[in-house]
């Protein structure tokens, strides 16, 4: 799995799972070429990272890493940690895995709807995952008012698209299917 690179595409995608990163780090991304998946067209689109793109990334709904966790302060550092885990697991092809980090990295905020009470189920709201780009086509369910628990676990998913090894990683307790899978979102909810 030597194909995993800390390129702008992977860093930007991972950035969507961060609350924030240092200004110095963010400056290294502005102006870099990257690709994002556009669900409307069903393909990857090439673009250049702008300040607005960075703001959109942080607003994307989903599980988020705490700010300044030692060793994974930003996506580039997280990719290096993931590479170590890939070697430990002796992975030779894309797939998904979960590993435990030494300290809490974020909050597990993805729950199955069946674990909610009837009153809570009535509070579920359907919203776009993001208000811009391809994620505006992905409708997810959210709920607020539920206490989220800290987690040390990091979920990692590796896929190859057009010969590019894509990585996503986020704090969580369970592996998930493709986030564009509407069946998944019919049975799960993000706690905001």
pTM over 0.75? The answer is: yes
Domain membership of residue 101 (yes or no) is yes
Structural domain tally of the chain?
Answer: 1
Whether 76 contacts 26, CB under 8 Å: no
Q: With 60 as the cut, is the pLDDT of residue 183 above it? A: yes
Mean pLDDT, to the nearest integer, of 32-52?
Answer: 86
Give the angle 65-161-56 at the CA atoms, nearest 5°: 40
Q: What's the domain range around 185? A: 8-191
Q: Residue 127 falls within a domain, yes or no?
A: yes
Identify the band that residue 2 occupies on the pLDDT scale cut at 50, 70 and 90. low
Cβ–Cβ < 8 Å for 74, 22: yes
> Does 97 fall in a domain?
yes
Question: What percentage of the chain has pLDDT greater than the value 90?
Answer: 53
Q: How confident is the model at residue 37 (pLDDT cuts 50, 70, 90)?
A: confident
* 1 within domain boundaries: no
* Nearest in space to 47 (alpha carbons), one of 60, 39, 35, 29: 35
Tell me, yes or no, whether 138 lies in a domain: yes
> Can you tell me the mean pLDDT for 154-158?
94
Reading the block at residue 170, the tokens are: 């986020």
pLDDT averaged over every residue in the chain: 87
DSSP state of 16: T
Is residue 105, in this structure, part of any structural domain at all? Answer: yes
Inside any domain, residue 3: no
Question: What confidence tens digit (pLDDT) does each residue in 67-117 have?
Answer: 989 999 999 999 999 999 999 999 888 989 999 999 999 998 888 899 899
């Amino acid at each position: 799995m030597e194909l995993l690179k800390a390129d702008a595409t992977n860093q930007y995608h991972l950035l969507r799972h961060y609350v924030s990163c240092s200004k110095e780090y963010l400056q290294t991304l502005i102006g870099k070429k990257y690709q994002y998946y556009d669900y409307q067209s069903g393909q990857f689109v090439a673009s250049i990272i702008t300040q607005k793109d960075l703001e959109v990334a942080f607003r994307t709904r989903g599980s988020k890493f705490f700010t300044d966790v030692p060793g994974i302060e930003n996506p580039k550092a997280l990719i290096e940690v993931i590479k170590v885990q890939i070697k430990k697991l002796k992975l030779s092809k894309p797939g998904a895995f979960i590993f435990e980090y030494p300290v809490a990295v974020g909050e597990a905020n993805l729950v199955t709807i069946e674990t909610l009470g009837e009153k809570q189920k009535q509070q579920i709201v359907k919203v776009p995952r993001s208000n811009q780009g391809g994620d505006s086509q992905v409708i997810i369910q959210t709920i607020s008012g539920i206490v989220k628990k800290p987690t040390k676990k990091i979920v990692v998913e590796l896929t190859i698209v057009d010969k590019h090894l894509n990585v996503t990683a986020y704090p969580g307790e369970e592996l998930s299917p493709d986030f564009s899978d509407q069946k998944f979102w019919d049975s799960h909810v993000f706690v905001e």
